[in-house]
Amino acid sequence: MKKKIALVTGGYTGESVISLKSAAVVERTIDREKYEVTKILIYPGDWHHITESGEKVMVDLNDFSLTIAGKKIKFDGIFNILHGSPGEDGKLAGYFDMIGLPYTTCDQLTSAITMNKGYTKAIVDDIPELHIAKSIQLFENTAKNLTRIESELTLPLFIKPNNGGSSIGMSKVKTWEELPEALDKAFAEDKQVLVEEFVSGREFSIGVFRGKGEITVLPATEIVSSKEFFDFEAKYVAGITEEITPGRMTEEEVARVGRIVTQVYEKLNCKGAVRIDYFLQKESGKFFFIEINTVPGQTETSLISQQVKAIGKDVKEFYTELIEEMF
C-alpha cells in the first residue's frame, strides 16, 4: 500500500508565490511508486484541494481529510512546503500535533522560535566558534529607537523584519538619514524588527537535514551578488546572483562550518531539511550566523536542490528520506 501524503502549500504571506513554485517541483519529483500525493492549498479561511476535473474540495479541519466523490481520504503524513505563516512559524505544526499527523518539518516550538531571528540568535549564541553581529531587537516603531540605535550600533546596518522571509522588507543603511525610512519599511512587514551591524564577509548558505536517522551537512553554496546584499530580487531574479556550489572554502573552513551548523541543528531540535545562512568574515574568517530557514525553497534552482545534487544524491531520493524520517 502506498502511503498517502498531503503536500501543503500556499500560505498567508507574500512568500506564498515561492511556496507554490516549490510545491510544483516536489509534486513532480516525489516518488509516485511509494507515495500517493495530494496537493492541499492553504489560504486564510480557505484550505482546499483542486481535483483533476477542476472541482474545489474543502479540507475537513477536524481531521485534515478530504471527501471526493463520496469517498473520505485521510493522510498518513504531511510534506510541508509552505513558506512563511502558517507553515514555517509553528501554527500548522501545532495543528498537526493536535490531530496526530506527522510532518516533514520542525515541531511547533522550534518553528515558532526559529521564525524569530532575534530569539534564534539568543539560543545559538553560546555555540563554540559561532559569532553573532551586534544587534538591537525592536518591538515598536518610535522616535526613541533612532537615538538608541545611533548610540549603541555602528554604521552600516541591516534592518530586517524579525519574523519575515525571502528578504522582504529588508534594507541596508549606510547613513543615519536613511534609518527612519528603513525602519518604516521593516515595520510595515512585522511588529518586531532586528537592527544589526553589517559584517563584511563572504556569504554562504548551507543545507542540513536528518535522513535515515543521521544528520547530513550538505556542501555550502557561496552567494556572490551583484546587488548590495542578497535581497528578494537577488534571490529570485535570474542573473543577479552567482551561486557557487560547493562554495570556495578551505578544508579547515569546511570542517569548522560543518561542526557549527550540526550543533545549530541539534540545539534548535530541528527536523527535516533546514538551510542556515552565514558569513565568513573577510579579515578573520570567523563564522557569523545570519539566520535559519526551516522550510527552505525546493524549486529546481533552489540552494538545497543544488547542494543535494552536489553530493551525487537524486532529489527524489532526498524527498523519500525526508518523508520516511517522519514515520
pLDDT digits (tens, 9 = 90+) for 265-288: 999 999 999 999 999 999 899 999
Q: What CA–CA distances, in Å, run from 195 to 4, 32, 36, 134, 227?
A: 44, 45, 45, 9, 20
pLDDT of 241: 80
pTM of the entire structure? 0.90
Q: What is the pLDDT of residues 168-209, one digit of tens each?
A: 788 999 999 999 999 999 999 889 999 999 998 999 999 999
Answer yes or no: is pLDDT of 248 > 70.
Answer: yes
- pLDDT above 90: percentage of residues in the chain: 84
pLDDT of 165: 54
Answer yes or no: is pLDDT of 164 > 70.
Answer: no
pLDDT of 228: 61
Answer yes or no: is pLDDT of 240 > 90.
Answer: no
Answer yes or no: is pLDDT of 162 > 90.
Answer: no
Q: What is the pLDDT of residues 26-82, one digit of tens each?
A: 999 999 999 999 999 999 999 999 999 999 999 999 999 999 999 999 999 999 999
pLDDT of 237: 56
Instruction: Label residue 321 by pLDDT band (50, 70, 90).
Output: very high
H-state helical runs in the chain: 16-29, 91-99, 108-114, 117-124, 143-152, 179-187, 232-236, 251-267, 303-310, 315-325
State mean pLDDT over 202-218. Answer: 96
- Average of per-residue pLDDT values in the chain: 92
Q: What is the pLDDT of residues 133-150, one digit of tens each?
A: 999 999 999 999 999 999
Say if residues 295 and 110 touch (Cβ distance below 8 Å).
no
First to last CA, the chain: 15
pLDDT of 301: 82
The rounded distance, in Å, linking the Cα atoms of 57 and 6 is 14
